[in-house]
Structure 1
Amino acid sequence: MTAPRRPECSVPLVEVSITEFDLSCLPETGAVLDQLLALRPQQVVIDLAGCRHIDAAAIGLLLDVHRRMVRAGGVLAVRNPNPRITRILQTARLDQILPVHNDAGAAPAPATEEAAAPAASAAPTSAEVAVLPAGGTPSPGAAPRAAAYGRAAVTVRT
C-alpha cells in the first residue's frame, strides 16, 4: 500500500520578521514556524532586520526549519541580519547551509541542489507572517487574522 501523495507547495512565499530570537521566546517562535510550515510554502524568508540577538537555540531552530523545508522541496533563507548576527551565523557556518541576504530587495537563491528545484506552486497566493514583540504594531493594511504567542504576535497577510 502506498502512502497518499502529499500536496505540493500551496503558498509560494512566506516572509517572517523576527524581532526576538533566543531561548526565552523559542517556544512561541517555534509554534509560529510550525504553523507556517503547515502552509507548505515553496520559500520562507526570515527577516532579522529588527532582531538584535540570536543564540544557539535559535540557530538550532533555523536548522530544523531548513531541514524540514528541504524535505518538502522548499527553500529557507535569512534576510537582513545585523553585523553581529551575521558573525554569529558565520561562526556557526549557517551561512554555508542556507542563503543569507543583506539586501531586502534580493530574492533568496537555493543553498543546495536539493532545494534548487522546488515544486511549482499550486496557488498564486503569498502570506506574510510578522513576529512582533508584545505590544508591537502589525504592518499597515494587515489582514484581521492575528494571534498572540506569548511575547510574540503574528499577523498573516495573503
Structure 2
Amino acid sequence: MTTPQRPECTVPLVEVAITEFDLACLRETGAVFDQLLTLHPKQVVIDLSGCRHIDAAAIGLLLDVHRRMVRAGGVLSVRNPNPRIARILQTARLDQILPVHTDSEAPPTAVTGPATPPAGGTTLPVAAPRTTAYGRATVTVRT
C-alpha cells in the first residue's frame, strides 16, 4: 500500500524586501529564503530599495537562492538597488546571472490568476497579498 503524496503548493509571486543584507544577518535571511522556497514560488522578487549595504556573503546567498529557483523552474530577480548596491552587483557580475530591475524599467512579469497546480494538486484561490516581517526582511506572498 502506498501513502498518498501531499500536493505541492505553488504560489505565483513572493516579494522580499530586505533592509540589511550582510554576514551579520545572513543566518536569519537564509532561514527566510528556506521557508519561502518551500512554497515553490514561480517568481521571487528581492526588493533592495531600503537596503544600504550588501556584502560578499549576501551575494553568495543570492546565488544559492538563484540556483535553487532555477532547479525548481522559478525565477529570482532583484528590484530597486540603490546606485552603490547596483555597482556592487555589476562588479560581481550578478546582473548577468539574474534580472536586476528599477522602478523606471518594466517590472518583472508576475503570474496572475490562480496558481497552476502540479498534477493531482489543487489550485490556490486568488487572495489579497499576505505580508509578514521577519527581522530585517519583509515577505509578501501573492497567491
TM over 0.5: yes
Higher relative contact order (CA closer than 8 Å, sequence separation 6+): 2
SS of match in other structure, 2:31: helix
Q: Please list every run of at least 4 consecutive aligned residues from structure 1 whose deviation after the TM superposition is greater than 4 angstroms.
A: 4-9, 124-128, 153-158
TM-score (norm 1): 0.69
Q: By how many angstroms is 1:153 displaced?
A: 6.0
Q: Does 1:103 align with 2:99?
A: no
Residues 80, 104 of structure 1: 8 Å contact kept? no
SS of the residue aligned with 1:41? coil
Higher strand share: 1
Counterpart in the other structure of 2:35: 35
Give the residue type in structure 1 aligned to 2:31.
A
In the other structure, the counterpart of 1:66 is 66
How far did 1:157 drift? 5.2
SS in 1 for 2:21: coil
Q: CA deviation at 1:21?
A: 0.2
CA distance in 2, matches of 1:75, 1:27: 22
RMSD: 2.9
Q: 1:96 to 1:155 in 2, by over 3 A?
A: closer
Judging changes above 3 Å, is the alpha-carbon distance between structure 1 residues 71 and 125 closer, same or farther for their aligned structure 2 residues?
Answer: farther
Where does the alignment leave 5 or more consecutive residues of structure 2 unmatched? 110-114, 118-123
Aligned match of 1:121 = 116
Q: How many residues align?
A: 128
Q: State the 1:107 CA deviation.
A: 2.8
Residues 127 and 156 in structure 1, CA contact (< 8 A), matched pair in contact too: no
How far residue 29 of structure 1 moved from its aligned partner, in angstroms, is: 0.2
Per-residue deviation, 1:106: 2.9
Q: After superposition, what is the alpha-carbon deviation per residue over 1:23-67, rounded to whole angstroms, capped at 9, x for unaligned?
A: 000000000010010000000000000000100000000000000
- Relative to the length of structure 2, the TM-score reads 0.76
Q: Mark the CA change 1:52 to 1:32 in structure 2 (over 3 Å): closer, same or farther.
A: same
Letter of the aligned partner of 1:94 in structure 2?
A: L
Q: Between the two proteins, what is the percent identity of the paired residues?
A: 73
